[in-house]
Amino acid sequence: MKRIPLVLAMAAAGFTAWGQPVTLTNEHCDLRVVYHPDATNKLAFGIRDSDRGISYKPNEVILTATEAARLTLPGDIPPLGTAGAPLWVLPASQNPLLLYLGFSGDGLPQGVFDGPVNVRLLSISGPGDFFVWQAGGTGALEFQMDTTDGFSDQDSVPLFPGGHSHHNWGFTSNGIVTITLEATGRRLGAATNETSIETTLTFHVLPIPNEPDSPFALWQETHWPGVSDLALIGPEANPDADGLLNLLEYAFALDPKVPSLDGIPQLSIRELAGERFAVLTYRQAMGATDLEFDPVVTSNLLLPDWQPITDQLEVTDHDSYRLVTMRDTVPLAASTARFFQLRVSLKTAP
């Protein structure tokens, strides 16, 4: 599944912001584990862009391995593959053409945990296998994560307060790959572990193949006949530079060649039974049967607990799209802020 969310916020003054995932391709970034002592899940993940000094939640970024990351194995290198096989690598040493992705314990306090906090790989979705490794002192490869032999506690990277390390991140196939991680550590004197919520990272390993006969592929062919350049027609491309990715132009029945924000999801306020509620209205393109639309809401972006929005008020059909109106069930007066996501998912070939 390919998932691209739109984020919207509703406060007393109304609609305040919306955005899309940030694509990271050659920045110095770290996967950080952060400690929140007052939260139910006291450990959480974040992505820190050190080049720009910006922190993101994992679902706000797409981590990209460009075609410059592709290597050909010179010989058999278990478990990475056999001689001549392709391997996409985000390396442990910085390359200005590639994403430089590390692990960071800068968000962990000193004197709280009895040993390291472990970042463990729980699952993977997408084509091929995934690895995280470093070169040992003798030059041998030391694997911290390896999906070829299943998943276990051995698929983990230890983090210490203030610690920072870089590893090689490897993929045996191009496509959309998601990995699910969990951070676990035990506080001094505690009998049980502190564990983060399961957190997913999305990697785009380029080029991303499309299902040839999918409705989205037919939409691509309609707008760009005979063109295969993903930088122009890909789901994450934005050829008209209007801030909407092609997948969202497709989802909302918009023209990807005309820069316009007319037709994007809208938040409004509606009064029902004497109380004011936030209402989300969005388009669903007719014929886009390979898409899923999942509206969700939370009151806290720092510790998000996204809940599905299920109260559908109205559905009206238009020539090229269906207009859907969903209502939040929490009155505006009962919360200082409400944040909405419309998650648009494109099914890709297995």
Question: What gap in Å lies between CA 30 and CA 49, rounded to an integer?
Answer: 7
- Answer whether residue 61 shows pLDDT above 60: yes
In whole angstroms, what separates CA 159 from the centre of its chain?
22
- Residue 37 sits in the same domain as residue 177: yes
Is-contact 315 260, C-beta < 8 A?
no
Query: What are the tens digits of pLDDT across the range 88-113?
Result: 999 999 999 999 999 999 999 999 99
What's the sign of the alpha-carbon dihedral 293, 240, 349, 174?
Answer: negative
Say whether both 200 and 260 belong to one domain.
no
Q: Are residues 188 and 218 in the same domain?
A: no
Q: How many helices (H) and strands (E) does the chain have?
A: 3, 26
CA atoms within 13 A of residue 248's CA, in its CB half-sphere: 28
* Residues 222 and 302 both lie in one domain: yes
- The answer on 282 and 238 residing in a single domain is yes
**What do you get for the CA distance between the two ends of the chain, in Å?**
9
**pLDDT score at 330:** 92
- How confident is the prediction for the chain on average, in pLDDT? 88
CA torsion sign, 95 to 171 to 180 to 295?
positive
Least confident of 28-42, 43-57, 76-90, 334-348: 334-348
Residue 295 to residues 235, 270, 345: CA-CA distances in angstroms? 20, 17, 11
- Which residue, 182, 205, 228, sits at the end of a domain? 205
Looking at residue 222, what is its pLDDT? 86
Give the three-state DSSP class for 115: coil
Check: CB of residue 322 under 8 Å from CB of residue 335.
Answer: no
Q: Name the residue with higher pLDDT: 347 or 238.
A: 238
Higher pLDDT, 174 or 347: 174
Please give the residue that has the higher pLDDT: either 301 or 326. Answer: 326
What is the rounded average pLDDT of the residues 193-198?
A: 95
pLDDT per residue as tens digits for the range 208-257:
665 456 788 888 888 888 787 888 998 888 999 988 889 899 999 999 99
CA distance 97 to 54: 20
Bridge partners (DSSP) of residue 265 are none
How many domains is the chain partitioned into structurally? 2
Cis bond before residue 5 (omega within 30° of 0): no
| Contacts of 113 by beta carbon, 8 Å cutoff, 6+ apart | 161, 185, 186, 187, 188
Confidence category of residue 6, pLDDT binned at 50, 70, 90: low
Q: Can you give the residue range of the structural domain that contains 121? A: 21-205
Q: How far apart are CA 287 and CA 301, in angstroms?
A: 33
Please tell me whether the overall predicted TM-score, pTM, comes out greater than 0.75 for this model.
Answer: no
Q: Are residues 11 and 147 in the same domain?
A: no
Q: What is the CA radius of gyration of the chain?
A: 22
pLDDT tens string 111-127 = 999 999 999 999 998 88
Amino acid at the residue 129: D
Where does a domain end: 153, 187, 205? 205
Residue 247, number of CB atoms within 10 A of its CB: 24
For range 175-200, the mean pLDDT: 94
Single residue among 157, 177, 205 that ends a domain in this structure: 205
Same domain, 35 and 152: yes
pLDDT greater than 60 at residue 39: yes
Residue 111 and residue 123 in one domain: yes
Give 150-168 pLDDT, tens digit per residue: 999 999 999 999 999 999 9
- The answer to whether residues 65 and 197 belong to one domain is yes
Share of the chain above pLDDT 70, in %: 91
pLDDT at 297 over 60: yes
Q: Tell me how far apart the alpha carbons of residues 313 and 163 are, in angstroms, rounded to a whole number.
A: 50
Residue 253 maps to which CATH number? Answer: 2.60.40.10
Q: In this structure, are 50 and 171 located in the same domain?
A: yes
pLDDT higher than 70, residue 185: yes
Together in a domain, 216 and 187: no
Contacts of 20 (CB under 8 A, 6+ apart): 4, 5, 6, 7, 243, 244, 245, 248
DSSP per-residue string spanning 175-231: EEEEEEEEEEE-BTT-SS-EEPPPEEEEEEESSPP--TTSHHHHHHHHHSTT---HH
pLDDT band for 83, please (50, 70, 90 cuts).
very high
Q: How far apart are CA 290 and CA 285, in angstroms?
A: 11
Note the pLDDT tens digit of each residue in 283-293.
Answer: 999 888 888 89
Q: What average pLDDT does range 179-197 have in this prediction? A: 96
List the beta bridge partners of residue 269.
Answer: 278
C-alpha dihedral, 231 to 237 to 243 to 248, nearest 10°: 160
- What pLDDT digit, counting tens, does each position of 311-330 carry? 999 999 988 899 999 999 99
- The share of the chain scoring above pLDDT 90, in percent, equals 63
pLDDT at 11: 41
Q: What is the mean pLDDT of residues 261-272?
A: 91
The b-or-e profile of 121-154 (16+ CB within 10 A means b, else e) is beebebbbbbbbbeeeeeeeeebbbbbeeeeeee
Please tell me whether residues 186 and 292 are part of one structural domain. Answer: no
> What are the b/e assignments for 289-327, b being 16+ CB within 10 Å?
ebbebebbbbeeeeebebeebeeeeeeeeeeebbebbbb
If you average pLDDT over residues 7-32, what whole number do you get?
A: 64
